Amino acid sequence: MGNERLDSICEAGVIAVVRAPTAQAAIDAADAVIRGGVTGIEVTFTVPDAIYVVEKLIARYGQNVQVGLGTITTPSQAEAATATGADFLVTPGCREDVVKSMVAAGRVTMAGALSPTEVMSANALGVDAVKLFPASLGGPSYLSALRGPFPDTDFVPTGGVTAENLSDWIGQGAIAVGAGGDLVSSESVRERDWSDIEARASRYSRAFRQTLSLE
């Protein structure tokens, strides 16, 4: 790991991927995650008024929380995300025009990749980190294998990460992890059960702190 721009992401350790049917539900879910001790928040563009949600969270938490925009799939979304002041930008794939727009914004940029060819493409486009997605397809051992040919690539596995296997991912060299449905449960969002999401976040936060103490 050699990218100073990623320091804040590494310190957060866990990025909660927030998907919700309304802007207010996304804000409430993010609040619950943060109360639980997770300070990395990725609001996806699938959330209605995602730009508003990000601006609201930045205004509320400032630099105490790393707030990013994810599921960026077009250059115009990348440009809109930049205007919010988001700390980081995430795309699930590695489409050249999208990634170039994100990199040009000067924010921490993560592009999704799974195969070695996709990792090479992401690195060539100048991303700060590779979002290994869906990470569940290969597991921590697959990340370990990828780090053989790509020792200088910063990986953030997303998809299939749990509080229970978080230490395995970090142990295989992940600089941080992304957690979606296992952390921000769609059922809990639908039921507005913010206490459940807070409890899930607490488990992730505790697991990450314990992992750091073992290193």
d(CA 205, CA 34): 10
Indicate if 100 belongs to the active site: no
E-strand stretches of 71-107 = 88-91
- Report how far apart, in Å, the C-alpha atoms of 205 and of each of 37, 67, 104, 179 are: 6, 17, 32, 12
**Residue 126 zone, left/alpha/beta (φ > 0; ψ -120 to 50; rest):** left
Helix (H), strand (E), coil (C) string for 119-146: HHHHHHCCCCEEEECCHHHCHHHHHHHH
User: By the 8 A CB rule, do 127 and 99 touch?
Assistant: yes
In sequence order, the 6+-apart residues with CB closer than 8 A to the CB of 173 are: 143, 144, 147, 155
Cα Rg, the chain, nearest whole Å: 16
Indicate which residue of 55, 56, 100, 131 is catalytic: 131
Indicate if 56 belongs to the active site: no
Indicate which residue of 4, 11, 42, 191 is catalytic: 42
Rounded (5°) CA angle 39-12-107:
95
| Residues designated catalytic | 42, 131
